[in-house]
Amino acid sequence: MPRMAAVLIFGVPVLIGGLLLALRLYGVLLNIDWIYYPTFALVYAVWVLPILGFMLFSFPALRPNPHAEPKRRFICMVPAYNEEMVIGNPVKSLLAQEYPKDLFEVWVIFDGTDGTADIARSMGANVLVTPTDGFGKHRALDYAFKQLLRDGDDRYVTVFDADNVVGANFLQAMNNAIEAKGFRCMQSFHDVLNGGDNWVTKALWCSCVSSSRMYLTGRMRGLSNALICGTGWCCEAGLLRRYWPLIKTQTEDIELNGILALEEGIHVGYVPEAHIYDEKPLTVWVSIRQRMRWMCGHARVAYYYFARCLWEGLRRRDLALIELASFYLVPFALLTSFLTWPLLAGIMLGTFKITGPLAAGPIEHGFEAIAIFFVFGYQVVGFWGEKRLPGGAFMRACRVLAYSLYTLVFALLAWPPALVWALFSVARADWLFHTPHVSGDAKQPVPALHVAHARHPVTVSGSISEGVLS
């Protein structure tokens, strides 16, 4: 598979470039309006303009919910597969929550073969072992919900990944949001634990924080509907008992969004004052495999729920459902975006031509400006002012620009092979790939993350997809 990725990254562009040069030498000139304009419409309508639109709704930041007396009960679940290197992170941070100890429990749902369960028990967490190894996250959670939740359960379930550090105020913030807003399902602010490890994690830190600050905030303010983002989410136990058995894909987070909206009319609330810190991959290759799994699941969710969400959204006049249907098409818009590069290369070489409003003039230049801002400026705006960046104001500004550039480079390297690979793997229903974690136990987010740990307009990239599609 690494060789396949290398061929996709380096070989295919060379092959396409050679073919385009050959066509130019033979004097071929083809009109591609028939494919260029539909491609443009799909990419901008489904991906670019919604994200930039939500950005406009994200200012100012959402105010924290007022403090409420601790009242709600929580059961915190951490699905874990062979995570002995990192399981101390969520367990320690959950057991140290600034919330009454009698109002929450911590459970590790173990489906592996290493010492994860023993470590979790020794630290004070409860452990539930699945019947077989390698269950996968959504199946492990299904087992846990059946074993640990009961009919009429009034608790809220919080779900975290095994490498997460959870902010000390997480449960209190969720309690405040439930009391103030009546949320039945919520997503926290998705931050990054190891953002300073190398240029890859810096890129992912930049995109993840930008997404949490602008995309989720804009969705909440514009549609009153955020997205469940894989980890750091919270939901009524009764809803999970009733609807989790309907989950069919490995991207259980965005699938649950659709199920709750369709079956109960529930919109997901956003609680940005609650933070979780997620460990990101250290290499492009691991990131490619991770994104391939996400895109396989995302495409399968589109197959199951796009038409139904669109129809019910129109019937109920629910803009949030209509937008969710559009969101489910994002993998196809991303793939289309990258597949348009040969068209644009052909236009620049004089092999292809287009006519109409995007061929020249202010409309073309306007969309070119939008595309440039989307692939670079968006992250600058979203990451600007990040308090954990070291140095003075000037050095922090320089780092924001550098990290935004890393984000663009990462997107160009990781997303095209991941999307093409997913295209050939989408029929698989298993969990496909377990992301390895290497950090030591009980790592905590620190203010300065710059030190490594010891040990044309259609052409847009998926550079901010890390937070949005996780």
Which one has a higher pLDDT value, 451 or 336? 336
- Per-residue confidence (pLDDT) for residue 234, from 0 to 100: 98
The torsion angles phi and psi of 79, rounded to 5 degrees, stand at -65, 135
3-state secondary structure of 60: coil
What is the CA 161 to chain-centroid distance, rounded? Answer: 13
Quote the pLDDT of residue 37. 93
Mean pLDDT taken over the chain: 87
Cβ of 399: how many Cβ atoms within 10 Å? Answer: 19
Higher pLDDT, 196 or 9: 196
pLDDT at site 7: 60
Report the half-sphere exposure of 347 (CA within 13 A, side-chain side): 19
Identify the helix (H) or strand (E) that includes residue 274. Answer: strand 269-278
Share of the chain above pLDDT 90, in %: 63
Q: What is the pLDDT of residue 435?
A: 67
Q: Per-residue pLDDT for 452 more than 50?
A: no
pTM of the predicted model over 0.75: yes
pLDDT at 445 over 60: no
Q: How many CB atoms lie within 10 A of CB 113?
A: 11
pLDDT > 90? residue 177: yes
User: Which CATH homologous superfamily contains domain 27-470?
Assistant: Spore Coat Polysaccharide Biosynthesis Protein SpsA; Chain A (3.90.550.10)
**Integer angstrom CA distances of residue 235 from 231, 396, 411, 459:** 12, 37, 32, 38
* Residue in 253, 232, 227, 91 with CA at minimum distance from that of residue 170: 232
pLDDT at residue 279 above 70? yes
Distance CA 403, CA 207 (A): 9
Q: What is the pLDDT of residue 430?
A: 56
Other C-beta atoms closer than 10 Å to the C-beta of 119 total 21
- At residue 326 the predicted structure's pLDDT band, cuts being 50, 70 and 90, is very high
CB 90 within 8 A of CB 79: no
**Cβ(226)–Cβ(216) under 8 Å?**
yes
> Which is higher by pLDDT, 266 or 418?
266
CA dihedral sign of residues 84, 90, 93, 95: negative
Q: Taking the alpha carbons of 193, 195, 196, 197 in that order, is the dihedral positive or negative?
A: positive
- pLDDT over 70 (residue 94): yes
Rg (CA), the chain: 23
d(CA 320, CA 372): 28
Determine how many CB atoms are found less than 10 A away from the CB of residue 241.
17
Which of the given ranges, 2-16, 310-324, 443-457, has the highest pLDDT on average? 310-324
